[in-house]
Structure 1
C-alpha cells in the first residue's frame, strides 16, 4: 500500500479538462494495480517456485526482495525522469520494461533468469508508478482530483487481496509461471490503450537526473540485504555477512554526503530531519516490512508445515488482506478525531498483539487470526504514516515527500523479508519440519512492533491533519 500525495490545487490558470481523462485514469489504475499485485501474487507461489527451480532459502528470498528493492530504490528517479522527459513517455517505457521482464520471469528455468526478470520488473515499476501518478495529478483538478485520488488510493488493499487469491489460483491451476505470463497480455493491451487515451505533455526540463544518487541508494540497501540474507545460512560472523553490512554502512554515509552537496539531489536527507516526515518514513518502513513478511512466512508455513495447497493458501490469505483494508479505511476517520499519535501507537500495538498469536500457538487458525489482527494494525499504520508525513508540507514539496514515503514502503518490504527470512532460516531450510524458526520470526516481529509503538508515543508529533486533507493509502 503506497502513500499518496494530498490534493493541492494548481495555482494560476487551469487548462480545460481533457475529455479522455476518466478513460486515462482507468488505464493508469489498471497498470498500477498490476504493479501492486506483483508484490503479493508471488508470495503464494514461492514454495512451488523454489521446488521447481531448486532454489535455496536465500534465492527464494531474493525473488521478493529484488522486485521491491528496485521498485523502491529507483522510484524517485522514475518521478524525476517523468518531470524531465514527460510523464507519458516514461510511463510507456516503464510498462514495456515491466511487461518484457514478466515474460522473462515466466520463462525462467533457473535462478538467474527468474531474478533477472524480477530486476526488470522492479525497474519498470519504478518508472511506471510515479509517472502514472504524475499524470493523474496533472490531468485532474479541484474536486475531480480528490475523486481520482480516492480511486487511486483504493487500489492498494484490493491489489493485496486479489494478489494472494490470483497467486493461489494460477499456481494451483496452470502453474506458477502464469503469475508472470498474465502480465504480458494485460501489459500489451495497456500499452495500446495508453497511447490512445493518456495525454502527452512535454517534460519540464531544466534539471538533471541524479543517476549517481539512485545507484548509491539502491546499492546501499541491496548490499545490506545481501549481508542480512547470508547471515541466515552462514551466521553473523561470516565474512560474506560482515563485509556487505559494513559496505552498506559506508555506502550509506557516501550517499548522504553526496546528496547534501549535489545541486539537484535525488532525496534531500535534510527532509528526514523534519520530525513529521521522519516519523512517517519509520512507520511506513516498519508496517510494510511486517505485512509483507507475514505473507512470505505464512505461505511457507501453510504449504510446507501445514500441508495446504497453493489455492487453499491463497484463500486463507484473503482475510489478512481484507484486514489491511479495514484498518486503513477506519484510520483516516480516527486520525481526524484523535490525532496522529494515539492512532499510530494503538495501530502498532494491535500489530504486535496479532503477531504474538502465531508466535505462541501453532496451527492454521492461529496464523490466520493473528496475521489478520496484525494486518488491521498495519493498515492503520500506513495511513498514519502518510498523513503524518504529508499533512503540513508545502505544495512544491508534496511530490518529493510522497516519493520519499513510497521509497520507504518498498524498501521496508525488501528489508523486512530479508531480516525475517534469516530469523526463520531453520524452518525455511527444513521445509517446515522444524517450526522453531517460524516462532522466532513472529516473536521478532511482535517485539519490533511493540518497541516502535512505545517509541511512537514520543516520535510521532501530536496534532490532527488539516480540515479537507485527503490522503489515500495503497
Structure 2
C-alpha cells in the first residue's frame, strides 16, 4: 500500500496507464457522432434502431457502473480495470465486424460493460497512489485524458469515414485499448478495499430492467403510439421495477445506491441540474450529425469539424466556471448557465433549412458555454454537500443519475424528432414500401430519393427533419428554463468570495463531462 510517507516511485507511470484507459473511453464517447448517419444508410437503420445503438451502451453503463466499482474494491482494481479494457476491446472488435443492426446494438452493450468497469476504477485507485498534496493534480490529469478525446473523436471519426468503412470507428479503439491494458499490466499496482459493500445482484438487475423498459417504451412510442398496450405495459413495468429498486435500497444496511442522499436539498437539486444538462447534451448530440450531413450536405470529416464550437464552448466555460462561482456563488452560476443553455436551445429551435452553418455555429457555441457553466458548479455543489464517509456512494449515485439523464435524452428527444419528422414528411406518389422507408429517417429518405429520382422528397425530408429538430430543441429550452428556475429557488447559495467545497479527490472531475450519455455516442 502506498502511503504519503513512502510514495511509490512508479506512481506517475501508473498515472500514465490510467490516462491511456480514460483516453480510450473519452475518444469513443464522441467518435460515433458522425458515424450513425453513415451506418443508417449502409445498414438501413431506422431512427429507433439508431437510438438503440446509442442507448444500449448508456443503459448498460448506468446499470453496471456502481456494481463494477464494488467488484474492483473487493477483487482488485487493477484486475477489474484490465478486465474492463479487455471487454471494451472485445466489444469494439465485434462492432467492427458486425453486419447488421442487431449485432451493432449487442456490441455497443458489451462496450458499455467495459466502460462501466473502467470509469469508476480509473479514479478509485488514485488515493492509494498519491498523497493528498498530489492527488488533485493527478485527478486533473486523468480527467484531462478523457476530455482530450471529446473534440478529437468527431474529427478522427469523420476522417476514417471519408477513407474507410463505418466499422473503422470501432476498429480504432483496438490499439488504444491494447495500450491501456499493457500499461495497466506493467505499471499499475494492485489495490483492494475488502470492507466495501457486496455487489447486490438483485438491485443491479432491477436497475438494468427498469431502465431498459423505460427506454424501450420511449423509443417505441412514436411508431406505436403512447396509448399502445405494449408501450403502456413497458412504462408500468419500468415504474414498478424502479420503485422496487428504491424500496430495496432504502432497506439495505449498505446500499449500492444511497437514496437517503436525495433528502439533502443541496445534493438533490444540484444532481437534478447535472442530470438535466446531460439530458440536453446527449439529445443534442443525437440531433446534430444528420442535420449537418444530410440537410447541409457536409461529409463526415466536415461534420466532425463543425461540432467543435460546441466542444470549445463547453471546455472554455467549464474551466472558467470555478472562479466565477468563487465570486458569485454556485446557485447564481448554475442558474445562469441553465438560462444560457435555454437561450441557446430556443435559438436553435429557430433553425430553418436555409439558415446555414454560421447560425448553427453561433447557437452551438452558446450551448457549449451553458453546458460548461452549469455542469461544473452543479457537480461540485452536489459532491461538496457529502460527508467524507459518503463521498464514494454519493459520487456513484450522481454519476448514475447523469447516465440515466443521457439515456432518457437520447430516447425522448430522438422520439420527438422521429414523430415530428414522420408527420411532416410528404411521401405523396411514392409506393407504400418506399414511403415507409423514407419515414424511418432523413438519411433513408435521401437514399429513397436518389433511387427514385424524387427531387421533391429531398426537400420535404430536409424540411421535415429541421422541423423535428426544432421541436426537440424547443423542449430542451423549456426544460432548461424550468431547471434554472428550480435551481434559483431551491439551491443553497454556495460560497461567494471564496472557493466552493472541494469534492472527494477520488470522485470524477466535474470539469470533464462524460457524453456517454454519452452523450455518450448518442446520434441519429
| Cα offset, 1:206, TM superposition | 6.0
> Which residue is 2:475 aligned to?
444
Instruction: Give the corresponding residue for 2:297.
Output: 307
Cα RMSD for the two superposed structures? 1.9
TM superposition shift of 1:189: 2.2
Question: Separation in 2 of the partners of 1:137 and 1:13?
Answer: 9
1:272-421 → structure 2 map (5 Å cutoff):
272-362=262-352, 363=355, 364-421=357-414
* C-alpha distance in structure 2 between counterparts of 1:458 and 1:166, whole Å: 43
| Equivalence for 1:172 | 162
Task: Please give the residue correspondences for 1:129-278 in structure 2 after superposition, counting only pairs within 5 Å.
Answer: 129-205=119-195, 207-278=197-268
User: Where in structure 2 are there 5+ consecutive unaligned residues?
Assistant: 422-438, 443-460, 504-508, 513-524
| Partner in structure 2 of residue 7 of structure 1 | none
Q: Which residue of 2 aligns with 1:101?
A: 91
Q: Show CA shifts across 1:79-107 (max 9, x none).
A: 11111111111111111111111100111
**Deviation of 1:232 (Å):** 2.0
Q: Secondary structure of the equivalent of 2:256? A: coil
Q: Is the alpha carbon distance of 1:468 and 1:358 closer, same or farther for their aligned partners in structure 2, counting shifts above 3 Å?
A: closer
**Structure 1 residue 159: deviation in Å?**
2.5
Other structure's SS at 2:35 match: helix
Q: Would you say 1:429 and 2:443 are equivalent positions?
A: no
Matches for 1:450-465 after TM superposition, within 5 Å? 450-464=481-495
Query: Partner residue of 2:9?
Result: 19
Deviation per CA, 1:359-393, whole angstroms, max 9, x where unpaired? 11323222222122111111221102211111132
Deviation at 1:468, TM superposition (A): 7.3
* Displacement of 1:156: 4.5
Q: Map Cα deviations across residues 297-349 of structure 1 (whole Å, 9 max, x no partner).
A: 01011111221111110000011111110111111111111111100110000
Larger mean Cα displacement after TM superposition, 138-147 or 363-372: 363-372
In structure 2, relative to structure 1, the CA distance for the partners of 1:459 and 1:156 (3 Å cut) is farther
* Runs of 5+ unmatched residues, structure 1: 1-9
Q: Which moved more, 1:204-213 or 1:21-30?
A: 204-213
Instruction: Name the structure 2 match of 1:83.
Output: 73
Please say if residues 152 and 472 of structure 1, whose CA atoms lie closer than 8 Å, have aligned partners that are also in contact.
no
| Distance in 2 separating the partners of 1:155 and 1:352 | 29
Q: Retained in 2: the 8 A contact 1:279–1:388?
A: no
CA distance in 1, matches of 2:399, 2:214: 19
Equivalent in the alignment of 1:72: 62
- 2:511 matched to which residue of 1? 473
Q: Distance in 2 between matches of 1:55 and 1:467?
A: 46
Question: Partners of 2:63 and 2:302 in 1: how far apart?
Answer: 34
Q: Deviations over 1:128-153 (max 9, x none)?
A: 11111111232111221111112123
DSSP-derived class of the 2:255 partner:
coil
How far is 1:199 from its partner? 0.7
Aligned partner of 2:450 in structure 1 is none
How many angstroms apart in 2 are the aligned matches of 1:355 and 1:468? 30
Which structure has the larger Rg over C-alpha atoms?
2
Cα distance change of structure 1 residues 73 and 385 upon mapping to structure 2, 3 Å threshold: farther
Superposition deviation, residue 467 in structure 1: 6.1
CA distance in 2 between counterparts of 1:299 and 1:206 reads: 42
Alpha-carbon deviation of 1:275?
Answer: 1.2
Structure 2 CA distance for aligned equivalents of residues 238 and 257 of structure 1:
29
Report the CA distance between 1:205 and its aligned residue: 4.5
How many aligned positions are there?
Answer: 464
Partner-residue secondary structure (3-state), 1:469 = coil
Contact 1:357/1:366 (8 A) holds in 2: no
Answer yes or no: is the 8 Å Cα contact 1:210–1:264 preserved in 2.
no
CA contact (8 A) 1:356 1:370 kept: no
CA distance in 1, matches of 2:146, 2:322: 15
TM-score when normalising by structure 2: 0.85
Take 2:372 and 2:81, find their aligned partners in 1: how far apart are those partners? 28
Q: Is the 8 A contact 2:314 2:371 kept in 1?
A: yes
1:293/1:413 contact within 8 Å kept: yes
CA contact (8 A) 1:149 1:472 kept: no
Task: Report the Cα distance in structure 1 between the residues aligned to 2:329 and 2:254, rounded to whole angstroms.
Answer: 35
Instruction: Name the CA distance, whole Å, in 2 between partners of 1:276 and 1:153.
Output: 24
Residues 215-255 of structure 1: CA deviation (Å, up to 9, x unaligned): 21122112111111111222211123211111111111100
Give the 3 Å change call, closer, same or farther, for CA 67–15 of structure 1 in structure 2: farther
